[in-house]
């Protein structure tokens, strides 16, 4: 059986496992809430993570290019960029999939599949790098909006100051 | 970034040894023992000594929350104990709140800071527990005898630091209280904790400095009267550019019928200024006899984020000014906590304002009975009444370039029940309006994440986290209905939601309600309007649709 086929057949189980692994960064009191509450507005983190990993996994199975998955990776990274975690942890969700896929692969290991295995893994690696880039972008965005909020708050004063300089 | 990113060596060490999913370890400590750590982005600067001195407040000194030594007074524990005792004696509600919680957990997942951070100490019930554990130790027999077993603990410097962190991750929005079967209000715990911290000199500059400015010059930024007046006048010029109409506000005019007070953000902040332009157009449209004070030039009350006395002092300024000018009543602009103070505290603090008259709309004759005692009417109520009585000439098509949703600001909706008036106005001034999901609006609204004096730059990470539930709901209507404008009746919202949108939902702008009213008002003698108040081009209006104008 090919790896992709195997992953497709076990899609639900794999997604479940992936989701649970991601939630391990959160304290146990929180995990319950993130897992159980299905309302997207009452559980924005759980919902955003759940939906994004679903789309990413599907994208991989359908052999879409990582660039097409950028908005789903972005959703995960935006959330993680403002949590109390290190950058390595922020991008870790994608990395976690790699180890899950490897475990699955070992179940069906043979040489032909080996190549396929690496192709899949490479794609995931690509996504990991993308994640890091996006993470940095989010941090930069924070700095940018700090400045623009400052400008808006003092909007009229700055305008007056500028006028004064021009006169 | 560099301060935040760990070194490679530390990173490897932490990956191997600490709890994370690379090591497969999960946190082992109970929440009460999980120590806090200050890092850039998760704390606000402490009050500056000159600011604290100007308010005659305790323990002025140069300090920073990430200092090891907070330079507390020698007897700080005693001061906190006594302060807690005084507050419990004064407020029966607080005592009941301390004793009543049954830990049912209904509030646990209702706080936006919990939902956006996943940090259990942001569950309202645990936030309360940060104080309740001390209360048990100091004021209950069980806690005195059994200590930890009864959920009691000693007041230590670490606990104080934890208070500082988590009572500044509560915006006093009161969403949690809506879900508590006993109506226990975590905001009361937060204001108690902030007041106790303040009594030993632990506070944040972003709250203290505006409060001090307000006390000195009448507004947050400390703008002097002549500058304040010039700023309003520059808005008058902008209005003339867009509409061809010259509005004529007056300042400090004795004998005017109405004193108009709004948050100073409406005078100098973007996009608040467009809301101010809306008010000025409205008053001109109906020929209102009003004046603006350059001394009571601030509706917001930063005192309410730190102590009872300071709240009272800043609130009293508005009433003194109304009395000095001899107006009949006060009309208040789109503000959040100003209305909380007016509705919930003003009467017992500084009221009743018997020197003023019971507010009656000079245009429609409507008596605003709910303002009988405070003598202050909310602009949304005032305008809704004008529309209801058909006193405004409106063309909602002038807002056709906007697809609007409405954010219920915590204070007007939960502290004064202001739910339908803004919606009624919106539906009359624009054609494209979509509500966000039910469990994120009205009484269940999600806070902007930056209220109660937390709207400072250095706190951006926490603010973006706290605002995520709100942003998530905006994203939903943005994706589904192409909403491109988020409207709110609070000055803090107008600044901070814009920031929130830039991070989470780019493509959504933020406005006040009266900006849209201003766009829609058909003024006598106006020139043809091609731009809105922001000087953005209007959508073409098909003339054959022009039947009601
Ligand atoms: S008052 Fe608001 S911010 Fe504070 S705990 Fe309750 S929901 Fe959270
Ligand atoms: S909902 Fe009320 S009673 Fe239940 S845990 Fe929260 S504060 Fe306590």
Nearest residue by C-alpha to atom 2 in ligand 2: B180
Looking at beta carbons, which residues of chain A come within 8 Å of B31?
27, 29
Report the pLDDT averaged over residues B450-473: 92
Q: Please, where are the H alpha helices in A62-154?
A: 70-81, 87-108, 111-153
Residue A29 forms contact with B (CB below 8 Å): yes
Architecture of the structural domain at B217-388 = Up-down Bundle (1.20)
How much is the pLDDT for B33? 67
- Whether B12 shows a pLDDT value over 50: the answer reads no
Say how far residue B177 (Cα) sits from the centre of its chain: 17
- Whether B2 shows a pLDDT value over 70: the answer reads no
CA distances from B501 to B41, B396, B469, B478 (A): 19, 25, 12, 11
Confidence band for B397, pLDDT divided at 50, 70 and 90: very high
- Whether A155 shows a pLDDT value over 80: the answer reads no
B185 lines ligand 1 (CB under 6 A): no
Determine the structural domain holding residue A125 and report its residue range: 3-137
How much is the pLDDT for B17? 44
Q: Which of B123, B131, B174 to mutate to test the pocket of ligand 1 (most atoms within 8 A of CB)?
A: B174
Minimum distance, in Å, between the CA of residue B354 and any CA atom of chain A: 36
Residue B136 C-beta-side C-alpha neighbours within 13 Å: 21
Closest CA to A108 of A98, A119, A116: A116
- Contact between chains at A152 and B31 (C-beta distance less than 8 A): no
How much is the pLDDT for A151? 75
DSSP letter string, B156-210: -HHHHHHHHHHTTS-----HHHHH-TT---HHHHHHHHHHHHHTTT--BHHHHHH
| CA B124–ligand 1 middle distance (angstroms) | 6
How many helices (H) and strands (E) are present in chain B, helices listed first? Answer: 25, 7
Which of A34, A47, A153 shows the shortest C-beta gap to B269? Answer: A153
Nearest residue by C-alpha to atom 3 in ligand 2: B101
| DSSP 8-state secondary structure symbol assigned to residue B443 | G
On average, the pLDDT of chain B sits at 89
B111 lines ligand 1 (CB under 6 A): yes
How much is the pLDDT for B379? 97
Residue B27 forms contact with A (CB below 8 Å): yes
Phi-psi domain of B218 (left: phi exceeds 0; alpha: psi -120 through 50; beta: other): left
In a domain, A142, yes or no: no
Nearest residue by C-alpha to atom 4 in ligand 2: B104
For residues B382 and B363, the answer to whether their CB atoms sit within 8 Å is: no
Query: pLDDT tens-digit profile of A39-89?
Result: 999 999 999 999 999 999 999 999 999 899 999 999 999 999 888 887 778
Looking at beta carbons, which residues of chain A come within 8 Å of B498?
149, 152
How much is the pLDDT for B545? 52
| DSSP 8-state secondary structure symbol assigned to residue B415 | I
Ligand 2 is surrounded, with C-beta below 6 A, by B 101-107, 124-125, 180, 182, 184
Query: pLDDT tens-digit profile of B289-304?
Result: 999 999 888 888 888 8
For residues B219 and B255, the answer to whether their CB atoms sit within 8 Å is: no
More confident residue, B214 or B11: B214
- Contact between chains at A139 and B1 (C-beta distance less than 8 A): yes
In a domain, A163, yes or no: no
Q: Which helix (H) or strand (E) holds A56?
A: helix A44-61
Confidence band for B19, pLDDT divided at 50, 70 and 90: very low
How much is the pLDDT for B31? 59
More confident residue, B155 or B352: B155
Burial class (CB in 10 A: 0-12, 13-18, 19+), B543: exposed
Q: Which of A35-44, A131-140, B129-138, B201-210 has the lowest mean pLDDT?
A: A131-140
Query: pLDDT tens-digit profile of B329-338?
Result: 999 999 988 8
Report the pLDDT averaged over residues A6-10: 94
How much is the pLDDT for B347? 78
For residues B452 and A70, the answer to whether their CB atoms sit within 8 Å is: no
By C-alpha distance, the chain B residue nearest A36 is: B109
Phi-psi domain of B41 (left: phi exceeds 0; alpha: psi -120 through 50; beta: other): left
How much is the pLDDT for B428? 98
- Whether B210 shows a pLDDT value over 90: the answer reads no
What residue ranges of chain B are covered by domains with CATH 1.20.1050?
Answer: 217-388
More confident residue, B61 or B151: B61
Query: pLDDT tens-digit profile of A14-24?
Result: 999 999 999 98
How much is the pLDDT for B176? 96
How much is the pLDDT for A99? 82
Domain tally for chain A?
A: 1
Q: Which helix (H) or strand (E) holds B407?
A: strand B404-407
Query: pLDDT tens-digit profile of B94-113?
Result: 999 999 999 898 999 999 99
How much is the pLDDT for B30? 59
DSSP letter string, B325-341: HT-SEEEE-S-SHHHHI
How much is the pLDDT for B5? 41
Q: Which helix (H) or strand (E) holds B485?
A: strand B485-488
Query: pLDDT tens-digit profile of B112-122?
Result: 999 999 999 99
More confident residue, B491 or A108: B491
Phi, psi of B406 (to 5 degrees): -115, 125
DSSP letter string, B341-352: IIIIIIHHHT--
Structure tokens at B431: 């054609």
- Whether B547 shows a pLDDT value over 60: the answer reads no
* CATH number of the domain bearing residue A43: 1.10.490
Share of chain B residues as helix, strand and coil, in percent rounded to the nearest 5: 50, 5, 40
What is the C-alpha separation between B331 and B344, in angstroms, rounded? 17
Closest CA to A27 of B351, B63, B28, B145: B28
Binding-face residues of B in 181-210 toward A, CB within 8 A: none
Share of chain A residues as helix, strand and coil, in percent rounded to the nearest 5: 85, 0, 15
Residue A128 forms contact with B (CB below 8 Å): no
Query: pLDDT tens-digit profile of A91-147?
Result: 889 889 988 998 888 888 766 777 787 778 878 877 887 887 788 788 878 878 887
Structure tokens at B14: 């932490």
More confident residue, B209 or B497: B497
In a domain, A65, yes or no: yes
What is the C-alpha separation between B498 and B124, in angstroms, rounded? 27
Looking at beta carbons, which residues of chain A come within 8 Å of B120?
27, 29-30
The top-level CATH class assigned to B396-542 is alpha beta
């Amino acid at each position: 059986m090919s790896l992709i086929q195997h992953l497709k057949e076990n899609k639900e189980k794999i997604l479940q496992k992936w989701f649970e692994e991601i939630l391990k960064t959160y304290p146990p009191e929180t995990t319950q809430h993130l897992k159980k509450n299905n309302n997207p507005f009452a559980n924005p983190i759980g919902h955003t993570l759940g939906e994004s990993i679903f789309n990413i996994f599907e994208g991989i199975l359908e052999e879409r290019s990582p660039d097409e998955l950028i908005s789903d990776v972005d959703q995960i990274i935006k959330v993680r960029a403002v949590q109390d975690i290190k950058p390595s942890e922020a991008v870790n969700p994608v990395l976690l999939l790699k180890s899950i896929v490897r475990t699955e692969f070992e179940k069906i290991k043979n040489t032909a599949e080996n190549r396929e295995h690496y192709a899949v893994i490479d794609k995931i690696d690509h996504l990991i790098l993308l994640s890091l880039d996006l993470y940095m972008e989010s941090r930069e965005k924070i700095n940018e909006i700090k400045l623009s909020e400052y400008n808006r708050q003092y909007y009229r004063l700055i305008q007056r100051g500028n006028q004064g300089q021009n006169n | 970034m560099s301060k935040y990113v760990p070194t490679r060596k530390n990173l490897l060490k932490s990956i191997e040894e600490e709890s994370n999913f690379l090591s497969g370890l999960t946190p082992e400590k109970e929440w009460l023992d999980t120590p806090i750590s200050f890092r850039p982005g998760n704390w606000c600067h402490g009050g500056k000594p000159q600011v604290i001195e100007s308010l005659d407040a305790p323990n002025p000194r140069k300090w920073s929350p990430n200092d090891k030594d907070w330079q507390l007074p020698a007897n700080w524990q005693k001061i906190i104990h006594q302060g807690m005792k005084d507050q419990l004696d004064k407020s029966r509600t607080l005592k009941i709140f301390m004793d009543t919680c049954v830990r049912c957990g209904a509030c646990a997942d209702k706080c936006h800071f919990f939902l956006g951070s996943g940090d259990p100490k942001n569950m309202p019930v645990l936030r309360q527990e940060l104080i309740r554990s001390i209360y048990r130790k100091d004021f209950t027999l069980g806690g005195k005898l059994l200590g930890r077993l009864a959920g009691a603990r000693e007041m230590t410097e670490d606990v104080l630091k934890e208070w500082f962190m988590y009572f500044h991750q509560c915006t006093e929005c009161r969403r949690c209280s809506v879900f508590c079967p006993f109506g226990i209000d975590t905001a009361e715990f937060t204001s108690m904790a902030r007041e106790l911290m303040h009594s030993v000199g632990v506070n944040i500059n972003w709250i203290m400095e505006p409060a001090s400015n307000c006390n000195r010059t009448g507004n947050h930024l400390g703008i002097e009267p002549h500058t304040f007046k010039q700023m309003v006048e520059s808005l008058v010029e902008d209005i003339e550019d867009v509409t061809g109409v010259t509005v004529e506000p007056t300042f400090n005019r004795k004998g005017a019928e109405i004193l108009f007070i709004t948050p100073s953000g409406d005078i100098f902040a973007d996009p608040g200024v467009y809301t101010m332009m809306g008010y000025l157009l409205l008053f001109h449209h109906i020929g209102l006899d009003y004046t603006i004070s350059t001394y009571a030039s601030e509706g917001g009350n930063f005192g309410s984020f730190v102590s009872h006395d300071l709240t009272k002092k800043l609130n009293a300024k508005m009433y003194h000014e109304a009395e000095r000018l001899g107006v009949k009543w006060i009309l208040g602009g789109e503000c959040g906590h100003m209305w909380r103070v007016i509705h919930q505290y003003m009467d017992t603090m500084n009221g009743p304002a018997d020197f003023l008259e019971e507010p009656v709309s000079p245009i429609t004759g409507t008596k605003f009975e709910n303002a009988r005692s405070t003598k202050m009417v909310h602009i949304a109520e005032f305008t809704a009444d004008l529309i209801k009585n058909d006193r405004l000439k409106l063309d909602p098509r002038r807002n056709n370039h906007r697809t609007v949703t409405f954010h219920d600001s915590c204070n007007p909706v939960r502290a004064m029940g202001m739910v339908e008036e803004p919606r009624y106005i919106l539906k009359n001034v624009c054609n494209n309006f979509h509500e966000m999901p039910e469990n994120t609006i009205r009484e269940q609204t999600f806070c902007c994440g930056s209220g109660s004096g937390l709207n400072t730059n250095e706190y951006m990470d926490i603010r973006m986290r706290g605002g995520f539930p709100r942003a998530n709901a905006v994203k939903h209507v943005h994706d589904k209905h192409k909403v491109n404008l988020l409207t709110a009746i609070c000055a803090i919202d107008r600044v901070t939601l814009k920031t929130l949108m830039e991070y989470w939902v780019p493509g959504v702008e933020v406005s006040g309600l009266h900006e849209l009213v201003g766009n829609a008002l058909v003024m006598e003698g106006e020139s043809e309007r091609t731009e809105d108040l922001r000087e953005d081009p209007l959508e073409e209006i098909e003339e054959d649709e022009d039947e009601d104008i």
